[in-house]
Amino acid sequence: MPSDDKLLLDYALSTDPAPVPISTAQVTSRVRVNISPSTSAQVYCDEIKIAVPVGSGPLSLFSSAPDGSVNTNTWAETTGAAQNGSDLWPGLDPDQDYVPLTFSCDVSDSLIDYNLVFGVFGAVNETVGDVRIMIRESSRTDSTDPFTPKQGSLWLRKAYPDFYLKNLVATTPDAPTVPSTDFPNGARIRLAWESNGTYFQLFMAGGTTPIYSGTETTCTLEDGVPRDSTFVLAASMTGSPGQDTSQGGYQPIYLYDSLTVSVSDPDLTPTSVTVSDTLDVTGTSTLGTTNTGALTSAGATVSGALQAGSLATGGTLNVSGSATVGQATVTGELSVQGGSTLNGATVNGTLNGTGSASLNNLTVSGLSASSGPVALLGTGVMLAQDTSIPQAGVEAHTDGFALAQVLIPSDVSKSSFAYGLINTVGTWFQVQGGTVGSFGSAWSDVMAFNPNAITVPIQAGTQWWYTAGNCNGNQQDSPIQIWWFPMGSNPSGEQTFRILSSEELADAPPPPATPSFNAFVAREEQVAAAAADFVDRLAEALEARLADGTRADLARLLHQL
């Protein structure tokens, strides 16, 4: 859409989704607005401010403050607090609140001759209407001229949402923005889609029972798939179909989408296998007993898990995963890296096990085992430290503990009230600290340090969130630290956690209202009242008539002592 002629730069606006749907009581519509300034002439610009109307009315876009972003690190973004239009810029609607997003150029050469895009992301309110986004740029056409402000606007319309289902995509959990259609056997697969439906069912080819049912628009298959598979997604604007008690021929309305993924090393299920020499398996192998036996070979190497009704090998058997065998005879060495269940085993060589083992009947002519202390707790990692920590998310790869610690300010005589928040299992847990004060006529004035910490257990495979900050009324802010203490380590040797991307934070739970604090407002009022009482008593004792102005001056001077 065109911008006003007063601006030197041209501004192009795009939205996702388009058109912009309003939120409903059932579904919150989150919309991304991208604004791209460009020009064919020579224009220098060191700052661009975007004022986004917020509120619940038809002229407001978002119901609360949005998030700002930019496509290059040569510009920095700062989001301000919501303000009335008359208090923000000249010419803005005095009956409308705006959130200002300020984008500042960090390089000395501010010539706009490259691709530049500003992003705004937030939750749309529930009212249809036309929205005016205000833009104020600081620009010039000559590098020797001073920068001067210029103002314009862009328009977009909010409309009633249509029922939609689109963009069913498969990714790895570690790279949720990179689509993929080919995965290793058993690798985790993250499926995501876009819809304003309220209930979803995900089916896999060959099955009649959904592998996922719920209201979220993502799901992760922790065990992946063993072979090429097609997924069919059904979306509806109702709840679970199994809860319906239809009347008068009622039928729910569904939208469908499908996606096929391939597996680079799929499981195969042959009717029989005959091995005359060594059997090498790079993936998981499930071998059932046949008329000639489950597996008979000179030796075997299984990189994944092994399941067999019976096993006989005259050489070495190496299993890097778990092993479940009904009856096993191993003439050479048996080496199992994972957990093992052997209902009957005869090992004439050495038995080496680095994982757990369940052995109902075992005969071993040579046994090697290691012993020593067992460490359950891994090395702690400090994820963040500052006086203000924006909300972030973490995916736990192991069980562990999240810790938020509020430290004391460098000067413990100063008032300081800080807080740390951790969210898991849908609940925010909070710790507060800094310093603590006591003021009053009955007690002496006291200001003491007050550090505090909170530890929250986290389950492996789940996501948790944290944020922290200081209250506005502090004399000096306190630092806050966020820690992660894993239980053990990731079996694959990977990091025990992963920081969620900014896209994944779109579904993060909103933090509770932050506490407010100003310990000295009441104290100042108390001291001022005491000073005024002293002047009154002094005038009475001296039998002096003091003018109101003189009384006020004496009270003020006494208050300053």
pLDDT at 558: 73
The Cα–Cα gap between 221 and 54 comes to 38
Percent of the chain beyond pLDDT 70? 77
Instruction: Phi first, then psi: give them for residue 365, nearest 5 degrees.
Output: -85, -15
Instruction: Phi first, then psi: give them for residue 555, nearest 5 degrees.
Output: -65, -40
Q: Which CA distances in Å does 171 have to 159, 174, 207?
A: 31, 8, 22
Averaged pLDDT for residues 303-332:
70
DSSP symbols for 117-182 = -EEEEEEB-S--EEEEEEEEEEEESSTTSPPEEEEEEEEEEEEPPPP-EEEEEEEBTTBTTS--SE
Percent of the chain beyond pLDDT 90? 51
pLDDT at 178: 92
Query: 249-281 pLDDT, tens per residue?
Result: 777 788 999 999 999 999 877 666 666 666 666
User: Which residues lie closer than 8 Å to 510 by C-beta, 6 or more apart?
Assistant: none
Averaged pLDDT for residues 220-236:
93
CB atoms within 10 A of CB 164: 14
Q: State which amino acid sits at residue 219.
A: C
Please name which of 76, 50, 151, 72 lies closest in space to residue 117, comparing C-alpha atoms.
72
Please name which of 192, 320, 315 lies closest in space to residue 257, comparing C-alpha atoms.
192
Which position has the higher pLDDT, 300 or 255?
A: 255
The Cα–Cα gap between 198 and 227 comes to 30
Comparing 60-64, 153-157, 375-379, the range with the smallest average pLDDT is 375-379
pLDDT at 519: 55
Instruction: List domains and CATH numbers for the chain.
Output: 10-159 (2.60.40), 165-241+253-263 (2.60.40.2470), 299-367 (no CATH), 381-515 (2.60.120), 520-559 (no CATH)
Helices 519-541 and 548-559, packing angle to 10 deg: 130
Half-sphere exposure of 469 (CA within 13 A, CB side): 14
Contact, 417 vs 491, CB < 8 A? Answer: no
pLDDT at 381: 93
The Cα–Cα gap between 317 and 72 comes to 55
pLDDT of residue 362 exceeding 60, the answer is no
Averaged pLDDT for residues 54-75:
95
pTM of the model: 0.42
The Cα–Cα gap between 429 and 451 comes to 17
pLDDT at 540: 80
Q: With cut-offs at 50, 70 and 90, classify the pLDDT of residue 356.
A: low
Averaged pLDDT for residues 60-70:
96
The Cα–Cα gap between 328 and 4 comes to 82
pLDDT of residue 3 exceeding 50, the answer is no
Averaged pLDDT for residues 217-236:
93
pLDDT at 11: 95
The Cα–Cα gap between 309 and 288 comes to 5
Tokens representing 468 are 């922290």
Pairing of strands 199-204, 229-236: antiparallel
User: Which residues lie closer than 8 Å to 531 by C-beta, 6 or more apart?
Assistant: 555, 556, 558, 559
pLDDT of residue 471 exceeding 70, the answer is yes
Average pLDDT, the chain: 83
Contact, 271 vs 230, CB < 8 A? Answer: no
pLDDT of residue 546 exceeding 90, the answer is no
Pairing of strands 427-438, 417-424: antiparallel
CA angle 149, 151, 152 (to 5 degrees): 160
In the block, residue with structure tokens 């969210």? 423
Contact, 328 vs 344, CB < 8 A? Answer: yes
pLDDT at 207: 84
User: Which residues lie closer than 8 Å to 418 by C-beta, 6 or more apart?
Assistant: 387, 406, 432, 433, 434, 468, 469, 470, 471, 474, 477, 478, 479, 480
pLDDT at 355: 55
Which position has the higher pLDDT, 353 or 274?
A: 274
The Cα–Cα gap between 317 and 330 comes to 7
Q: State which amino acid sits at residue 331.
A: T
CB atoms within 10 A of CB 175: 11
User: Which residues lie closer than 8 Å to 332 by C-beta, 6 or more apart?
Assistant: 299, 313, 314, 315, 316, 317, 348, 349
CB atoms within 10 A of CB 145: 10
First to last CA, the chain: 62
